[in-house]
Amino acid sequence: MNGVALANQGPAPLLRVDRLHVDYEVGRAIGGWPPGRRRTRVAVRDVSFEIASGETFGLVGESGSGKSTTGRAILRLVTPAAGAIAFDGREITTLGKNTPMWYRRAVQVVFQDPLASLNPRHLVGNIVEQAVGQRSDAPGRAGRRRRARELLDQVGLAGRHAERFPYELSGGQQQRVAIARALAVDPRLIICDEAVSALDVSTQGQIVNLLGDLQRELGLSLLFISHDLAVVRHLSHRVGVLRLGELVESGPADQVYNEPRHPYTRSLLDSVLVPDPVAQRERRLARRTRAVPRLDDLEEEHD
């Protein structure tokens, strides 16, 4: 091994996604030969990016571009057809079917709809206490309770919120609970999949600021998935742009936003930076008639 070459490479990334390819089975073809050929829809093709320790990587793109699928593959909720995902230098795509506990702790997720992911029959305090209990060094009952209160405090909730059910909280407060629960196991990466998209604009700002603060204080890595380019820009060190399952551009946030290289990135930026709704509608119509291939046109058939 060449020590100099290694030294030049800098620290290894926390997450490395290498030529990821994911497709979904969309039923078997009727007729044709051979019979019962698998029909698949390509959701992600040849996507590669890295996330360093303590870095926020924003993943943007229109609906259906493969953002959530990329997140799901990292979480091992879907099995990639090809490509590799390495976490902290360990290959995770080749691990057996059951996701190892260390990985389930290390990579947490916060989804768009917190109410759907929080147990409606449990008090907020209990939800976070249970998550603390998942730690490898889980403390006893009193310790779990204390730690849960600390976590709720860390995400800006008061002791009284611990005694409520999730549905008794506002959307922003529910999302704070989801974040506290994610933090309970000392994760190293949190995947936020449209985590603020369902919130009103001022609450969005508060949650985005909270995530930014936590990321800096705890040295967390974030994969921040959103269709909202303004929010992504605010939070991300680097950004990747997905279009129809392909990463058409990635780089430092300032570069992608100020000097986009790919025409698709430019048109995405145009569509959000134009404040005039009439002009926006005209652009949208113009784009629609411009014969852009839809993902459905890219469906492939495999044996």
Distance of closest approach, residue 69 Cβ to ligand ATP, in angstroms: 3
Close Cβ partners of 60 (under 8 Å, ≥ 6 residues apart) = 67, 226, 227, 228, 229, 232, 239, 240, 241, 242, 268
Total residues at the site for ligand ATP (CB under 6 A)? 14
Of 43, 45, 47, 68, the one binding Mg ion (CB under 5 A) is 68
Nearer to ligand ATP, 66 or 172 (CB): 66
Q: Based on the shown chain and the rule CB under 6 A, indicate whether residue 125 belongs to the binding site for ligand ATP.
A: no
Scanning 62-70, 209-217, 229-237, 270-278 for contacts with Mg ion by CB under 5 A, the matching segment is: 62-70
Torsion, CA 74, CA 78, CA 82, CA 83, rounded to 10: 0
Q: How far is the CB of 193 from Mg ion (least distance, A)?
A: 6
Cα distance from N-terminal residue to C-terminal residue, the chain:
42
Give the DSSP letter string of 186-220. Answer: --SEEEEESTTTTS-HHHHHHHHHHHHHHHHHHT-
Q: Which is nearer to ligand ATP, 65 or 174 (CB)?
A: 65
Residue 41 contacts ligand ATP per CB under 6 A: yes
Question: In whole angstroms, how far apart are CA 199 and each of 37, 106, 132, 206, 268?
Answer: 43, 26, 27, 10, 22
Q: Which is nearer to ligand ATP, 67 or 234 (CB)?
A: 67
- Interface residues with Mg ion (CB under 5 A) are 68
- Interface residues with ligand ATP (CB under 6 A) are 24, 26, 41, 43, 61, 63-69, 227, 295
